[in-house]
Chains A and B, each alone.
Chain A
Amino acid sequence: MGDSRTLTNEGRIPPMFERLRCALVIGGMCWLCVACGDAPTSEQTVDTVRDAVAIGDRNTALAAIDRLEKTTIPSPEGMLELAGLWASVGEPGRAVWHLEEGVRRFPDEHRLRVALGRAAMLVSNPALAIRAAGEVPAESDVYLSAQVLLGEAQIKAGDLDAGLETLRRLDQSHPHAAETALARIGTLLAERDADAARDELARARTLTLSPEQSAAADGLELLLYRVELNQEDASRDEAVSALMNLVDRRPDFWAAWELLVTQLATAGRLEAARERVEGALLANPELVPLHALNSVILRALGEEDEALAAAERFAHQAKTPRGWAVVAEHHQASGDAEAMLSAFERGLELYPDDPGLAVSRAESLIILERLDEAREALSQVPRAFRESPKLEIVRARVELAEGDAAAARERLERVVSILDDSSAQFWLGAALEELGMTEGAIRRYGLAHMRGPLDPVPSLALQRLYFRNRDLRGAAMASADLIKVAPALDEGWIGLVEAQILLGDPRAALAAVKPLRAAAPDRAIGPRLSARALRDLGRFDEAAAALDSAEALGADVAVDRAVLKSREGRHAEAIADLTALARERPDDAAIQLALTKVAFVAGDETAGSEAADKAMRLQPDNLAPLRERCFFRAAQGKEVGVADCARYLDAHPGDSEAHYFHGSLLATLGRTTDAIGAYRRAADLDRSDFRSRNNLATLLGKVGDLDAALDAAQEAYALSNEHPVVGDTLGSLYVARGLPARAVPLLESAYAGAANAEIGLHLAEAYRALGRQADLEQILAAISSLPDFGPEEQATAEALSRND
C-alpha cells in the first residue's frame, strides 16, 4: 500500500481511505447481492407470465418480461429464452428486435439467427427470415433448421414453388432428417393439400423421430384430420376411424380425444364415444383428463348423476384448480348456480391462491345476487392479479348489478383497451344499454359477437336492440346469427320471421320457417310463425290451418286468431274477440297491444287509444302501443299525436319510421322547421328511406335552401326512381335550379305514373323554361280536366300560359 506519510497528488491513497474504499466496494457488492436477490429468475418469470396469461393480464406478463430483460446479463441462452417469452405473449416484434441485438452481440451463435428468422416470420417479414437463414453456414449444427426456415420463408414471401423445392432438396440431402419432413407436412396442410400431407406423414413416421418430433407429428396428424373434415367431400367415418387409431396409439393425446368425441357427437354416436372413453379409462386409470370429457358426454346423454360423478372424479384425481372448474361447469350447464358456487369454493379450499377460481367464485356470487360477498371475493384474489382486466370485468358486473351503470361503463371502457374479448365488449354493451346509449350498446354487442361468434348471448342482445330501434335489417341479421349458433332457442326464429315480415317480405319469412318445421315438427313455434307469414301473404285459410297445428302442439293462439280475422277485414269480430280475451285475462299486455293495433286498423281511435293506455299500464317499459297511436294520429293529422310521437321518440330515438311519421304530422300542422328536423333524423337513421328524403327535399325547397333540397331529392330519387312523387320533387327542384332539360324527363315520367295537376304544372314550367310552347300548351290543356285542378291551379296555369 505504500508509506502512509507520502500522499496524494501522485494518486497515492492513504490507508484510511483505502480501508474506506474497500468497505464501500464490499458494501456495494452486498447491495448488488441484495438487488440480485430481488431480480426475477427466468423460472419465476415464466410462472408469472403463465399465470397472467391465464387471466388475460397482459400488462403483468409484459412487465415481468421487461423486468427480466433489464436485469439479465445478455447471453445467447438468455436471449433465446426472452425472445420466446415475448413471442408467447403476442409480442413477436419485440422478439425480433431482441434477437437482432443478439445476432449483433453474438455473431457466431447461429441458433440466434434461426430464432430471429422464426420471429421475423411471426411479423410477416419473410425477407428478414430469408436473410437470417442465409447467413447460417453449412458447417453449422443448426444449418438444417436454417434451411427449413429458408423454405418456409420463401413460401411466406409468396413463392410456394421455391419454398417447396428448398424443402424437397433438403429431404434429398437429409433423407433421415425428420425436421424437413415435418416442415413440409406443415406447409402442405397450410395449403390444404391433405392427400400429399397424408403421404408425407406416413413417410415421416418411418423415420427416427425424437420424442418432440413424434409429438409434432401427432399434432400434424390431428391437423390433417381437421383439414380433411373441413373439406367438402369429407368422409367423417374415415376420419373417425383414423382418430380412433390415433388415440389407441396415443391415449394421452387429449386434443385427439376431443376431436374424436366431437365427431362422434355430430354423427349422433354419443354412446360410442362414451364406450370408447370409458374403455380407455378402464385400461388405463392414469388418463385422468378423460373423466372431464366423459362428464360432458354423459351430460349430453342426459345422465346427470353419472356426469357429475365423472366431473368429481376428475376434480379429485387431476389435482389442479381446473378440476373444480369442470365440476362447476357441470352445475352451470344444469342451471344450479348454488352448486356451481359450492364447486368453486371447494376448489378454493384446496387452491386458495388460484386467481381463476377466485374470479369464477365472484362471478357465481353475482349470478346469485349476493353482491357484497362478490365484492369481498374479489378482494381476496391474489394481489398480483387484483388489477387484472378479467377481475375488472367482474367488478363492473357487480357495479351493474348494483345499478351503477355509469361506473361500470367507465371501468369497462378502460378494460376493452387492454382486453378486447367477447366478455369485455358484452358487458360494456350492457352498461351502455342500461344508460340508454342504444347505438353504443349495439356496437359493443356487435363486437362481442365478432369476438365470440359461438356465443348466442350477444346476438340475443343485438336482436333486442335492433328491434327496439326498428332496424329490421339488423334484427334479421342478428336473428339469423342466433339461429346458426342456437337453433333450439325460439327467439332466433321469432325474430327472423318478424323482421322479414316488417321488411315487407312475408315470402322470405315463410321460407325461413321451413327448416325449423322440418327439423323440429313437434315445436309449436314453427306452425305459429308460418301462420304469421301466411297471414301477411293473404293466404288466410292456410294461416288458420297453421294456427290449428300450433294449437294442437299446445300453443295458445287465441290472440293470433283474432289478429288473423282483422287481416281478413273482419275488424268487428277481431275487436270483439280481443275484448273478450282481455276480460278473461286483464293482466295480459299482449292482448291489449293486439287490441290497440286492430282497433287503429279499424279506424277506431277511442278503442285503440284505451287499449294502448292499458297496455302501457301493464308494461310501462313497452311503448309499442304508443307507437301505434303516434302513427295513427299522424296519419289523421291530429295535433294530439305530436305528444305521443315525441314521448315515444324520447325513449326510442333510433326509430326511423317514427321520426318520419312525426315529421309528416309536423309538416301537416305547418311546423316546417320541426318537420325538417324530424325528416333529417329519419333519413340519417335509415339510409334506404326515400320518403323522408323526398319530404325533406320538399320542405327545404320551400324554405329556400335549394342546394340542400337538391341533395335530399337526388338521394331520394336514387333510392326510388319509379315513384312519381319523387320524380316530381326532383324535377321541380331542377327547374328552380335552372336545369329544365334535366327536369323534363323526370316530370314526364312522374306525370305518366300519376297524372295530377301539381305535377302537370311543374312540367309546364319546365317546358316554358325550355321554350317548348307547344308542349306547354298541351300539358296545360291536359291538366285542366283533372279532378284536382282547382282555382289555384288555374291561376298558375294562366300565368304560365302568359309567360309571366
Chain B
Amino acid sequence: MTRGLSFAAMALVLAILGCGESQEADTRGALSTRLTEAQQPHVIFLLVDMLRADWTTPYGDDRGTTPELERWAQRGVLFEEVRSQSSWTKVSMASTMTSRFPAAHGIREATDGLAPGAETLADAFKSAGYSTYGVQTNGWLHPSFGFDQGFDRYSFPIGGKQAHLPRPSLWAHADRVMDEATRIVSAHDPAEPMFLYLHFMDVHEFAAPQEFQTFGQGQEAAYLSAIRWVDDSIARVLELLDDHGIAENAVIVFASDHGEAFGENGLYGHAKNVLSSTTTVPLVFRFPFEVEATRVPSQVRNIDIAPTLLELAGIPVPEAFEGASLVPLMEGATEPDRETRASLRARLFKDATFQELASDGRWVYVRDFEDDGTPRRDRLFDREVDPGEYIDVSASEPDEAERMREILEAGLSRKPSKDVRETNVRIDPGIADRLRAMGYLQ
C-alpha cells in the first residue's frame, strides 16, 4: 500500500470511528490524530511576496481578491494575527527559513547573506530524506546570499535579457514559476517525500494578466489584480499536485514575507519601517484532509512556520530554532499572543527609518535609530485603540512602556548566532541591476 493510500485509509477509519460524537470535538481529535499519523507528508510552502493580509478574502477584504485562499481557509486553519520579522524580504525570509529573530541571525545589510553553516528549514527536510526544491523569484534570495542551502534544486526562472523582446518584469511571474514547478513535480516520484517552496513575485510587481485586471486602473487596483492572479495560480498549483498524486498527502502552507503600505503612516511601499501595515501577513494551512474551518486569534510569527512544518512532517525541530510549533493552536489549545520582534536596519530607500519593534499583541514598542545606530526615539502604541500605530502613548502609559521597553532591549541584547550570517557578500551584477531598477541599492 502506498503512503498516500494508507493515509486515506486511516482517514476513512477515523471518520467511521468518529461518527456520532460532537462535531467540534470530533474535528479536533481527528486533526490531532491525523497529524500524528501522517508519515512524511509532502510539504508545500507557497510564499507570496509583499502580500498584506487585510486585502485577502479570508482576512476580511470584500472585493473578491482570493477566493481560492478562502476555500483553503474554510477547510483548514487560518491564523488571524501573523507578524513577519521584517518588512524587507531578505531579513524576513532569513527569519522564516532559520526560525530565528533578526537579532539571532544577524542579517541586516544588503550585502549580508546566510552563511553555509546556517541551519535552514530546507536543511532539516533534506536531512530527513526529503527531496527539496525551491523555485524562487526575488533577487534578495539569490543563491549568492546563501538561501539555496538545503535545496536539491533551487531555480530562479528569470527570462534572459533581450533588447527586442519584452521584459515584462524584473522578476519571473507565476507562469514561469508554474512551468518550473510542473517540471519538478512531473519528474518527482510521489512515493518519495518532497519539500517544495514556491515564491511568487507577481504581487510585488503589481503584475497580472489582463483578464484579472478587474479592480480598476490605478496602483491599488493593480495590486488587487495581482493578488487575484496569484490566488488563481495557487489553485493551479493545487491542481498540479493533485494531477501527480501529491495533493492527497500534502500539507500546504500559504504565507507572505511582508506587506505593503499604501499611505499608512504617510508611507508607500515597504522596507521603510516595521509597523503593522508592512509586517502583518497571512498564514493559512491546508491539509490533505478537510477540517472544520479553524481561525486562531492569537498573535503568531513567521518564525513559527518552520517548526510547524517540521512537526507536521514528524521531523525533530533543530534546537537553534526560536519559533514554536503552531500545531497546538491548530488543535484548539488557547495561548496568549506570542511575543514578536521585527527589524529594519538597512537604508534601501531614502525615506526608510532604521527601526526595531517588539509586540505582545496589544502593545507595540518601537525604537527608531539614526544611521550610525544611535537610538533616536522610542514609542509605544496601543493597537486596541490605535491599530494604525499613529499615537505614541508612552507618556500616558508609563508602566506598559517600561515593560515593553525591557522586552525590546532583551531581544536587542542577543548576539547573533555564530555561523549564520555572512557579510560582504558579492551581489551578482545582473541581480544588482534589477534591484536598482526596483529602487533598492540607491
Contacts and interface: CB of A to CB of B under 8 A. Distances in A.
Residue of B156, B213, B397 with highest tally of chain A CB at under 10 A: B156
B345 interface: no
Interface in B117-167: 142-146, 148, 153-162, 164-167
B13 interface: no
B155 A123 contact: yes
A481 to B, nearest CB: 14
Interface stretch (A231-239, A281-289, A714-722, A780-788): A714-722
Contacts of B428: 124, 156, 158
B155 A420 contact: no
Interface stretch (A267-275, A560-568, A640-648, A738-746): A738-746
A157 B388 CA distance: 41
Contacts of B164: 53-54, 56
Interface in A705-751: 710-711, 714-715, 717-719, 730, 737, 739, 741-742, 744-745
A158 to B, nearest CB: 3
B165 A53 contact: yes
B426 interface: yes
Interface in A62-114: 87-94, 97
Interface in A155-197: 155-158, 160, 190-191
Contact of B148 (A94, A127, A442): A127
B363 to A, nearest CB: 14
Given A127-B154, A158-B145, A714 B159 contact: no
B393 interface: yes
A125 B156 contact: yes
B160 A125 contact: no
Contact of B160 (A91, A419, A739): A91
Contacts of B390: 714-715, 717-718
Interface size class of A (residues with CB under 8 A): 35 or more
Contacts of A191: 426, 429
B217 interface: yes
A416 interface: yes
A745 B395 contact: yes
B406 to A, nearest CB: 22
Contact of B388 (A432, A714, A744): A714
Contacts of A419: 166
A618 interface: no
A89 B165 contact: yes
A617 B83 CA distance: 57
B333 interface: no
A87 B209 contact: no
Interface stretch (B54-62, B190-198, B218-226, B297-305): B218-226
B339 to A, nearest CB: 24
A443 B164 CA distance: 23
A88 B162 CA distance: 7
A88 B164 CA distance: 11
Given A687-B263, A718-B391, A126 B143 contact: yes
Contacts of A437: 217
B385 A190 contact: no
A127 B143 CA distance: 8
Given A432-B217, A714-B391, A715-B388, A190 B429 contact: yes
B373 interface: no
B216 A123 contact: no
Contacts, number: 142
Contacts of B158: 123-124
A715 B219 CA distance: 22
Contacts of A89: 162, 165
A443 B218 contact: yes
Contacts of A417: 168, 209-210
B133 to A, nearest CB: 12
Interface stretch (B28-36, B175-183, B236-244): B175-183
B385 A710 contact: yes
A124 B222 contact: no
A291 B219 CA distance: 46
Contacts of A442: 218
Contacts of A420: 166-169
B6 interface: no
Interface in A416-447: 416-421, 432, 437, 439-443
A733 to B, nearest CB: 10
B219 A443 contact: yes
Given A93-B179, A122-B160, A739 B219 contact: no
B113 interface: yes
Given A91-B160, A158-B145, A745 B167 contact: no
A226 interface: no
Given A56-B166, A88-B162, A687-B266, A439 B216 contact: yes
B265 interface: yes
A440 B218 contact: yes
B374 interface: no
Interface residues of B, number: 57
B386 A741 contact: no
Given A123-B155, A420-B169, A737-B385, A414 B210 contact: yes
A457 B358 CA distance: 47
B425 interface: yes
B154 A413 contact: no
A322 interface: no
B431 interface: yes
A711 B154 CA distance: 44
B161 A90 contact: yes
A688 interface: yes
A156 B166 contact: no
Nearest to A739: B385
B22 interface: no
A413 B212 CA distance: 11
Interface string A504-534: 0000000000000000000000000000000
A90 B169 contact: no
B396 interface: yes
Residue of A91, A124, A413, A437 with highest tally of chain B CB at under 10 A: A124
A128 interface: yes
Nearest to A189: B429
Contacts of A711: 387-388
Contacts of B426: 155, 158, 160, 191
Residue of B160, B396, B429 with highest tally of chain A CB at under 10 A: B160
B156 A124 contact: yes
A652 B402 CA distance: 50
B395 to A, nearest CB: 6
Given A437-B217, A443-B217, A123 B157 contact: yes
A87 B160 CA distance: 7
Given A160-B426, A718-B390, A439 B218 contact: yes
A198 interface: no
Nearest to B381: A714
Contact of B221 (A123, A160, A440, A687): A440
A413 B265 contact: no
A439 B160 CA distance: 32
A464 interface: no
A155 B428 CA distance: 8
Contacts of A418: 166
A745 B179 contact: no
A193 to B, nearest CB: 12
A97 B183 contact: yes
Given A90-B160, A123-B158, 13 more contacts: A56-B164, A88-B160, A90-B161, A91-B160, A92-B160, A124-B431, A127-B148, A156-B144, A440-B217, A688-B266, A714-B388, A715-B388, A717-B390
29 contacts: A54-B164, A58-B166, A90-B162, A91-B160, A93-B155, A93-B159, A93-B176, A122-B160, A123-B155, A123-B158, A125-B156, A127-B148, A128-B153, A155-B426, A157-B144, A190-B429, A191-B429, A432-B217, A443-B217, A443-B218, A715-B388, A717-B391, A718-B266, A718-B388, A718-B391, A719-B266, A742-B397, A744-B396, A745-B396
Pick the 9 closest A-B CB pairs, nearest first.
A440-B217, A687-B263, A158-B144, A439-B218, A718-B390, A124-B156, A420-B168, A90-B159, A714-B390
